[in-house]
Every structure is written in structure tokens, then in C-alpha cells.
Chains A and B, each alone.
Chain A
Amino acid sequence: MHRMRLPASERTILELLAAREACYGLELVASSEGRLTRGGIYVTLGRMEQKGLVTSEAAEGGRRQYRATGLGERALLAARIFSGEATIEVKP
């Protein structure tokens, strides 16, 4: 069975992307309140893109805009449930 781990930096990025449509890596760093660094943001985003958690499209100046994928949103929800921050209501 393939198990997917969601590190803290990836979870932070997914939380920030969930709150907006699409944004640059630098905007994520600026709004992360120190949890993300300029040096590590694109390494992390590249790894998340390989996992299918985020997608990106080219913008002007060689930059890229990132947004969460459906898989990324579900991974974030699962992480919130396991940490007790969200619950699932099961109806009979």
C-alpha cells in the first residue's frame, strides 16, 4: 500500500492555496508568517507538483502561478481530520 505523508510545509502551502484562487510562490512566502522560506518554497512546490497536490502555469517574467488540485484539497482535508481540526459528519 502506498502511504502519502503530508509534511508541515506542504500542509501550510495547501492551506494558503485553499484560501485563494492562484498565486506566486513569493506571495505564499509573504502570507505564511515565517513558516515558509524563499529558499525552500520552489523546491517544496516542485515536489508537490510531482505528487499531484498542486498544479502550475507559466506567467510573465519566468514565474509560475500555483493552485491546489483536487487531490491536494482532499489531502488537506484528510490531514485536518487526522489532526482533529475537522470532522466528518456521518449521516445514518
Chain B
Amino acid sequence: MRRPVEFLADMLPLDEAGRRAVDETLADWRCEANDATTSGGRLLVDVIGTAAVVGAITRLAFDEVRMPGSWQLFARVVGLALTVSAMIAMIGAWSTLAAAEWPTAVTLLVALLPITLGSYLPLVALTPPFRLQRGVPVLGVCLLLGAIAAANLGWVTPVAKLSFRVNAVDVLAAHVREAPVPRSDPERSVPALAGRAMAGGFDGASAAYVLSERAALGATAPAFLLLGIQARRFSRHRRWRHAGGLLAWAVAAVAAFPAVLAVTELRDWLQALFFYPANELRLLQFWVVPAVALVAAGLMARRSPASTTIEAKR
């Protein structure tokens, strides 16, 4: 049990102090495991050791999240998500109506904001705080992100997506008289699916669709994070160590956009690149992320010294 935990702990984006704390906790576990003679004793040591490592990681994450730089970045990402959501909501409202209707735009904005925020939050984890002199604190925001992403994918996104679709369809139905606008199958959150299953009204096809889409979206966010973290870890130069995470994020986001569409909607890859149904306008948000990430990576690469390596600084 210790080796899988060691492997997972090794993959976490810890700074130097955090790495040492986790290593020492693991060393205690190793020492106690060597002293344990019975299988019951070894099991107890494993349980206590796992709890200790989880406790150390939680404590480190909590300390990092409390740092002022983390919250500054969080506020910036919220601001970016709000701006992009407002733009897309206005495009949605203005493109379907002859005259602009602010209540419609606001309704679309409220429905869209949780999805956009959930998509942009990984940027927090991969952006080093500029004003902090210590190592890049990303573990706390990564874990916070994981919790938010789980809630977002399982509950907020399905509810918000359904709300956005219903609103978009209502706008179209009210103003486009030529043909009736069909409503898509309602998307259900994990709690809603569980509730239906408990009530005996479980719809297997609907559940399979929702869960496959959730799985596809759920796999992209950790993939972004891992790509960025690995890029930063293996970069010797300071400028690429900082900017590399964002660059990887940008490339992954560009690649993931048609991939998500192709997987979830079973469309052709090329068609997915150019096909924007009215109620899929929200997916435009994915194109903003790589653009912002590329600009931020360029700015960071210019600010950081090119020739100084992390090893040389130590």
C-alpha cells in the first residue's frame, strides 16, 4: 500500500518545503512498517501512514490556499470567466434577436458563468504568483480545483447547461417562427440521476450519455494539469519552467476542444472544428483559454531570466 501512495505523492506539485514534509512522513511510515511483525500490525501501520500522508497534503494545501497570491489569481480567473461569459451571452442574445434584450443576455450569462468558471479554473493551478518569492504553490489550488471540478462536472454543469439550452431554445422559439425548435434531451446531474434511480425511473440511455460526457470532460481537466505540471518539472530553464505549464495548457486546450466535441457528439473531427449549433455557443469559451494562456506564457517568458537555471540558483 505504501508504494502506490509514494508514487502518487511523488506526482504532486509540491514546493521544496512541502516535498520534504511529505518525504519525512513517508520515512516514518517506512520505519514503522519495518518494525511491524504481524499482518494485522502492518495493516494498521498502512492505515495510519496513509492517513498521515493525506493529512500532510491537506495541511500543505490549506496553507497554500491561504496565501494572498492564490486568491489574487483566483480573483483574476473569476474576472476573466465573467468577461468571457458576458461576451458569449451577448453574442447569443444579439445574434438571435433583432433588438437587444438585456434580460435575455443576463439570463444566458447566469446560466453560462458556472460552466465557464469551471473550465477556466485550471489556469489558477498552472500560473505562478508573480509577487511570491518562494516556490510556486500549486498543490493547494490543484486540490481545491479537484473538489470544485467534481462538483462542477457532477452537478453545476449539467444544471447550468440544461438551463442555458432551455433559455437559448426559448429565445429561438419566441423569435424564429419558421419552424419549431426541438428541445434536446434534458441533461441530468449525478444527484438527479441518483434520485431517478432511487425512484425507479432510471433511464439507461440517458444515464449512459450523461456519464460518458461527464467522463470525457472529467478526463480533460486532470490531463491539462498533469501536462502542465510535467512540462514545468522537466524544464531546466526558469523561463520555460514558469511558462511551460501554460503553453502545455494552451496546446492541450486547442486539441481537447474538437476531441470533446467529437467524443461527446460523435461528430467528424473537422466538422467539429467549425460546427457551432446555437445552443453550443458556450463552447466558444474554450478558444479563449489558449489565447489567454499563450499571451500569459509569452509575458512570463519575457519577465524571467533566460540563462538562470533552477539548479544554478540553488
Residues of chain A from 8 to 26 with CB closer than 8 A to chain B in the complex: 24-26
Residues of A within 8 A of B79 (CB): none
Residues of A within 8 A of B52 (CB): 37-39
Return A40 CB to nearest CB of chain B, in Å. Answer: 5
Docked Cα-Cα span, A39 to B53, in Å, equals 6
Supply 27 A–B pairs (Cβ within 8 Å), ascending by A. Answer: A25-B28, A26-B32, A37-B55, A38-B48, A38-B51, A38-B55, A39-B25, A39-B51, A39-B55, A40-B55, A40-B56, A42-B20, A42-B21, A42-B56, A43-B21, A43-B56, A43-B60, A43-B63, A46-B17, A47-B17, A61-B27, A61-B30, A61-B31, A62-B26, A62-B30, A63-B24, A64-B24
The reply to whether B59 and A26 form a contact with Cβ atoms under 8 Å apart is no
Tally of contact residues, B, Cβ under 8 A: 25
Tally of contact residues, A, Cβ under 8 A: 17
Our pick among A38, A40, A62 for the contact of B23 (Cβ within 8 Å) is A62
Q: Is B271 engaged at the interface, CB distance under 8 Å to the other chain?
A: no
Residues of A within 8 A of B22 (CB): 42
Docked Cα-Cα span, A25 to B32, in Å, equals 13
Residues of A within 8 A of B48 (CB): 38
17 additional A-B pairs beyond A39-B54, A39-B59, A47-B17, beta carbons within 8 Å, are: A38-B51, A38-B55, A40-B59, A42-B20, A42-B21, A42-B56, A43-B56, A43-B59, A43-B60, A43-B63, A45-B21, A46-B17, A46-B21, A50-B17, A61-B27, A62-B30, A63-B24
Return B86 CB to nearest CB of chain A, in Å. Answer: 41
The reply to whether A42 and B30 form a contact with Cβ atoms under 8 Å apart is no
Residues of B contacting A: mostly: helix
Residues of A within 8 A of B56 (CB): 38-40, 42-43
B contact set with A: CB distance below 8 Å: 17-18, 20-28, 30-32, 48, 51-56, 58-60, 63
Our pick among A37, A40, A46, A61 for the contact of B20 (Cβ within 8 Å) is A46
The reply to whether A38 and B25 form a contact with Cβ atoms under 8 Å apart is yes
Docked Cα-Cα span, A43 to B32, in Å, equals 20
Docked Cα-Cα span, A45 to B25, in Å, equals 12
Docked Cα-Cα span, A37 to B55, in Å, equals 8
The reply to whether B55 and A63 form a contact with Cβ atoms under 8 Å apart is no
Return A9 CB to nearest CB of chain B, in Å. Answer: 10
Residues of B within 8 A of A46 (CB): 17, 20-21
Docked Cα-Cα span, A63 to B30, in Å, equals 10
